[in-house]
Structure 1
Amino acid sequence: MNPITTALLGLSVADAIGVPVEFQTRSELDKNPVTDIRGYGTYYQPPGYFSDDSSLAFGLAESLATGSFDLVDQSKRLINYKHHGYWTPNDEIFDIGMTTSRAIDHLGNLFRNNKTSELSTLHQSAKESDNGNGALMRIFPLYAYLRDKPVAEWIAPIWQHSALTHGHIRSVCCCFLYLRFCHHIVTAEKKEKALELARRELLDFLMAANLPLEELDTLATLIKADFARVARTQVRGSGYVVQSLEAALWSIFNADNYRDTVLNAVNLGEDTDTTACIAGAPAALLYGVESIPANWLEALARREEIIDLGDRLNATYPTPNVR
């Protein structure tokens, strides 16, 4: 199976594993850990139902599968999700982050006031509070569009799409590191080498951007930590983008298969579906779609449509030849 479809299945299955226990604390999950697919729970949804994490990723994938990077089209699909349940398991939303919800309302205002030309400059008004994980959770499909481009051309599209809801540079750095990590996995690097290479590329960008030292400090763990040796007590599956990526990487580097990666992420507690979703794409790329437990994959809502979407997106852009 191609890497795009593999990752879309990986992220959405992982998301669905986390949905029933979202917002549970780590101590609650330590007493009753998730060990297999569940249903109902927090949102009372059937097993295999994914959240806004996957729905918004699929919306981005659909937009990119048209053959262009179009912020107007991407924005319309975000709005369609909130108001019409676009790409949800059952055509209705049951979960949406507060920052994402407010940002989508702002996008709607831009459309109503014929100000869509401002979509490409939203990052200029970003605040530090715009650092939730709502862009990181949906960003993977952008890899298909970027994968044949030199690394120097990755930041601008990542920032423009992220800024539709989360425009701060910190969110962009996390999205960039994540996508480059996935890229190096696809090019057959082991996870340790893939992260090392992605970190070097992020540092190159940070040095060129001349970020304030305090901003570099917030990314220090992502840039330096040996996640295989980081204690579980030192990571949080929170909604803050930096902690969210740290938790996903910890989950990946403390497992040697897809199942354990996802369960690591979910059982950290808090934003369980999103931590798992972020970890799920690279885990599927590392271990293959056949590593996803069969009962998890069989239960996934809209599975065949997700496969079709991944195949279409993969076919829209050429096979990468730039490392």
Structure 2
Amino acid sequence: MKTNIIESTFLGLALADALGVPVEFKSRQELLNNPVIDMREYGTHHQPKGTWSDDSSLTFCLAESLCKKFNINNIANKFSSWYREINWTPHGSVFDIGNTTNKAINLYLKGTPPTLCGGNSEYDNGNGSLMRISPLAFYIKDFSIEKRFDIIKEVSSITHAHIRSVISCFIYLEFIIEILDKNEIIVAYKNMQKKVNDFLLNNPICSQHEITIFNRVLENNIQYLKEEDISSGGYVVHTLEASFWCLLNTSDYTEAVFKAINLGEDNDTTATVVGAVSGMYYGLNDVPKEWINAIARKNDILLLSKQFAKKYGYEN
């Protein structure tokens, strides 16, 4: 299956999400005994084969908005439209939504400015902005790092405003930008570490305590940790760590995504974060065509990919 980089990113994240949805919240031990190695159906959310979750829905809302002029209100409107079951649901209904995202969208619908809607307490650091942020890399990649950070903060803050969530999105997107510069994954990772560490050193955006929370990603090579040292729940830092660990310990799309899924817990989100990068980096030529064809609203995703590729100069 020949795809351009946008198609393989968007299909890659949706497919990873759909592969994970049937076993979302399964424990690692359960999946060790019965690992996911193929596309399943029903399961946790009782959804048909190929169904993706809110992770992909909100990613596509962001991408659709970015096909036009960047506008934070428009992005929030797209999220609200999905919430009301109008825009980017796989089958016409919302079957999964995080608590922090739910509260934020309701605040927006009541008139709160979008960047003031996101939860900003330490307990609002779920992975709900990280899971949807990947398309933003294409918009911000040529800006200064300071401007990139400011835009990422705005977009994350629609649902997740705490600095920990913002930095998680920042780290992930700086890594993606390195991938877009055609670096190998390990080189992209090391370049990201240097850029982010330099930025945090020279821009006092948060306390040293917050920076220290990212030491496993920014100061060391997380690749060499053992699986038992990797957590895979819904906490944003754990999702970030698990995603890098999967990407750095695998060598193709399918291997990376199944490693993420079989970590268990909030595994469809880890898989979505991994799937966007893996699709972007490896492409989907080696992925079974029946999996691609089973993706809900595949043709709509392809159309969005085409529009997005045209906007950002990635057409075939």
Give the TM-score, by structure 2 length: 0.94
What SS is found at the alignment partner of 1:289?
A: coil
Quote the residue 1:176 is aligned against.
170
Q: Offset of 1:166 from its aligned partner?
A: 0.3
Quote the residue 1:194 is aligned against.
188
1:93-150 superposed Cα distances (whole Å, 9 cap, x missing partner) = 111111111111111112xxxx5xx334557x72212211000000011122112323
311 and 151 in structure 1: CA distance in 2 versus 1, 3 angstrom threshold:
farther
Quote the residue 1:293 is aligned against.
288
The amino acid that maps onto 1:139 is I
Instruction: Find 1:236's aligned residue among 203, 207, 231.
Output: 231
1:26 aligns with 2:28: yes
The amino acid that maps onto 1:24 is K
Instruction: Find 2:304's aligned residue among 293, 309, 321.
Output: 309
Rounded Cα–Cα distance in structure 2 between residues aligned with 1:187 and 1:312: 21
Rounded Cα–Cα distance in structure 2 between residues aligned with 1:85 and 1:170: 31
Q: Offset of 1:177 from its aligned partner?
A: 1.2
Rounded Cα–Cα distance in structure 2 between residues aligned with 1:84 and 1:196: 41
1:53 aligns with 2:48: no
Equivalent pair of 1:284/1:291 in contact (CA under 8 Å): no
Q: Offset of 1:61 from its aligned partner?
A: 0.7
Rounded Cα–Cα distance in structure 1 between residues aligned with 2:86 and 2:34: 32
Structure 2 residue runs of 5 or longer lacking an equivalent are: none
1:4-31 superposed Cα distances (whole Å, 9 cap, x missing partner) = 2221111110000000000111111111
What SS is found at the alignment partner of 1:172?
A: helix
Quote the residue 2:98 is aligned against.
97
The amino acid that maps onto 1:16 is A
Instruction: Find 1:2's aligned residue among 4, 13, 22.
Output: 4
1:25-80 superposed Cα distances (whole Å, 9 cap, x missing partner) = 111111111011100000111111000000000001111112x1111111111111
Q: Offset of 1:197 from its aligned partner?
A: 1.0
Equivalent pair of 2:108/2:117 in contact (CA under 8 Å): no
Quote the residue 1:254 is aligned against.
249
Q: Offset of 1:318 from its aligned partner?
A: 4.3
What SS is found at the alignment partner of 2:224?
A: coil
Rounded Cα–Cα distance in structure 1 between residues aligned with 2:203 and 2:287: 39
Alignment of 1:184-223 (within 5 A): 184-210=178-204, 211-223=206-218
Equivalent pair of 2:107/2:117 in contact (CA under 8 Å): no
- Percent identity at matched positions? 38
Question: May I ask how many residue pairs the two structures share in their alignment?
Answer: 311
Instruction: Find 1:37's aligned residue among 36, 39, 57.
Output: 39
Q: Offset of 1:91 from its aligned partner?
A: 1.2
Equivalent pair of 1:128/1:168 in contact (CA under 8 Å): yes
Structure 1 residue runs of 5 or longer lacking an equivalent are: none
Task: Provide the aligned C-alpha RMSD in A.
Answer: 1.5
1:207-246 superposed Cα distances (whole Å, 9 cap, x missing partner) = 1232322111111111123233110001111111100011
Rounded Cα–Cα distance in structure 1 between residues aligned with 2:167 and 2:110: 27
85 and 19 in structure 1: CA distance in 2 versus 1, 3 angstrom threshold:
farther
The amino acid that maps onto 1:58 is F
Alignment of 1:67-216 (within 5 A): 68-110=69-111, 115=112, 118-120=113-115, 126-210=120-204, 211-216=206-211
The amino acid that maps onto 2:121 is K
Equivalent pair of 1:85/1:93 in contact (CA under 8 Å): no
Q: Offset of 1:250 from its aligned partner?
A: 0.9
Equivalent pair of 1:258/1:284 in contact (CA under 8 Å): yes
